[in-house]
């Protein structure tokens, strides 16, 4: 079931292609103040952002299961991930599940702890399960030709303050 519609896309800034969508994802995480390894997605085909609401979507060609080794956590990222991005959090998340014992539990919100000095990331599920992890466990060292340099070509993501436009990448 597609969560994004053509009507929604007319109000959004939309990008196509893995390279530019990876950059947009990193820029989004940076502007939200979230760790850069939080969304280890592969083969992205589309991403978008709706300024008025903060709605974000990321589409990839197939589901990705990722193990955060330092935490011993298995997380599954569906073909379409959606949510509402704000400073310090992404709420109403759809498309991300984590393994709890023998069950896959959908993640509903990912946020930084209220006390930024603790460096903690709080993940909440719709099942009422809340887990807190060190934010550093989701950080990936940036490469030599890092995201900062590559993102200079993109408009900065200013959450809830950007004018919508459509950009197509071949």
Domain ranges of the chain: 6-151
* Confidence at residue 155, expressed as pLDDT on a 0 to 100 scale: 55
* Confidence at residue 11, expressed as pLDDT on a 0 to 100 scale: 81
Can you give the chain as a three-state secondary structure string?
A: CCCCCHHHHHCEEEEECHHHHHHHHHHHHHHHCCCCCCCCCCCEEEEEEECCCCEEEEEECCCEEEEECCCCEEEEEEEEEEEEEECCEEEEEEEEEEEECCEEEEEEEEEECCCHHHCEEEEEECCCCEEEEEHHHHCCCCCCCCHHHHHCCCCCCCCCCCCCCECCCC
Segments of the chain with pLDDT less than 50 = 1, 144-145, 148, 152, 156, 158, 160-168, 170
* Confidence at residue 122, expressed as pLDDT on a 0 to 100 scale: 94
Fold of 6-151: at5g01610, DUF538 DOMAIN (2.30.240)
pTM (2 d.p.): 0.80
Q: pLDDT digits over 129-142, tens only?
A: 899 999 989 988 87
* Confidence at residue 8, expressed as pLDDT on a 0 to 100 scale: 76
């Amino acid at each position: 079931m597609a969560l994004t519609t053509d009507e929604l896309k007319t109000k959004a800034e939309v990008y196509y292609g893995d390279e530019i969508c990876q950059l947009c994802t990193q820029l989004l995480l940076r502007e939200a103040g979230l760790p850069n390894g939080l969304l280890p997605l592969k083969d992205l085909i589309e991403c978008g952002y709706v300024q008025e609401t903060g709605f974000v979507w990321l589409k990839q060609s197939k589901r990705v299961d990722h193990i955060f080794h330092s935490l011993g956590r298995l997380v599954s990222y569906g073909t379409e991930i959606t949510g509402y991005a704000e400073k310090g959090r992404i709420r109403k998340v759809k498309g991300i599940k984590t393994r709890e014992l023998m069950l896959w539990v959908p993640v509903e919100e990912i946020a930084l702890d209220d006390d930024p000095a603790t460096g903690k990331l709080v993940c909440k599920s719709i099942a009422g399960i809340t887990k807190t992890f060190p934010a550093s466990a989701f950080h990936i060292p940036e490469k030599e030709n890092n995201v900062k340099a590559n993102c200079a070509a993109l408009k900065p993501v200013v959450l809830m303050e950007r004018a919508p436009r459509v950009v197509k990448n071949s």
